[in-house]
Amino acid sequence: MTKIFVTRDIPDEGLKMLRARTDIELKVYGEDKKIPDGILKRSVKGADIILSLLTEKIDSSVMDAAGKQLKMIANYAVGFDNIDLAAAKERGIVVTNTPGPELSEAVAEHAVALIFTLTHRIVETDTFTRAKKYKGWGPKMFLGTDVHGKTLGIIGGGAIGTALARKMHNGFGVKIVYNDIKRNEALEKEVDATYLEKNDLLKKADFVSIHVPLLPSTKHLIGEAELKIMKNTAYLINTSRGPIVDEKALVVALTRGDIAGAGLDVYECEPLIDCDPTDTYELRKCANAVLTPHTASATIEARQAMSRVAAENILAFLDGKTPPNAVKVS
């Protein structure tokens, strides 16, 4: 009997697939919150497979708490920065993630929503209207900026970056420039995208949207120097991982007007929106920032698809096959 521990209840499609197997014993942490570390380590003891969420840090201590029989960690996320890949490799543990078109489209849609929310000042005007301050139309009231004809700079030309480029170029006539560790010729052909070095992209783009994984090489990829390169009319969008942006530097740039605004779905010290509550770098006080609580992929379709993909990875592994979304560990 294969023992699987799921670190939090997830949408049911994948769980139904696992429960349909008579050779699987499935246990799910029942509370809808991050599982405390002590409970996590007690709960994984004896598990052959851990189905984890991005909120759980699966490091060597958790792997050792599970025991030597642990052979797989199926992460319910596209990113896998919450898992110590070196420790997993050392122990011969397979790690998988859950990419897919549903998630790519959902996150890309959220990035689009953040762009328009910023440029059309949706949050500000909604707050203004609800406060009963609207007394009549005015020609200069809450002037925003057009999106059509502008330039979108995409950092990370993978599946999500490509989905965003397609939507913005085909739907809104936006010019696309991008940067990645290697060129994406398919993206260039599909939306007439131009490859630029990062600093050249930052100089040119009216919107900069981040779509790279969190790695040692991408931490603070956008910091003080990069924010100063951007136009003071430009907007930064981050639906990837919080530590890719130096949050304190961003607050300074937003406060000084070095950039026009930012749309964030992720945060450097998540779930905190302010890494150090004792300092003065308070992102929530920036009126030119739109903040959402890591919900870019929060659609029924995307989250069910992630559940299904996680189960497909597990079932393939149990059947002696290479999981379709095995993470490559160098």
Residues recognised as catalytic: 241, 270, 294
What percent of the residues of the chain are helix, what percent strand, and what percent coil, each to the nearest 5? 40, 15, 45
Q: How many CB atoms within 10 Å of residue 328?
A: 6
Q: Are 223 and 249 in contact, with CB atoms under 8 Å apart?
A: yes
Cβ 242 vs Cβ 268: under 8 Å: yes
Under DSSP, the state recorded for 35 is: P
Closest CA to 107 of 299, 262, 308: 299
CA–centroid distance for 294 within its chain: 7
Say how far residue 133 (Cα) sits from the centre of its chain.
36
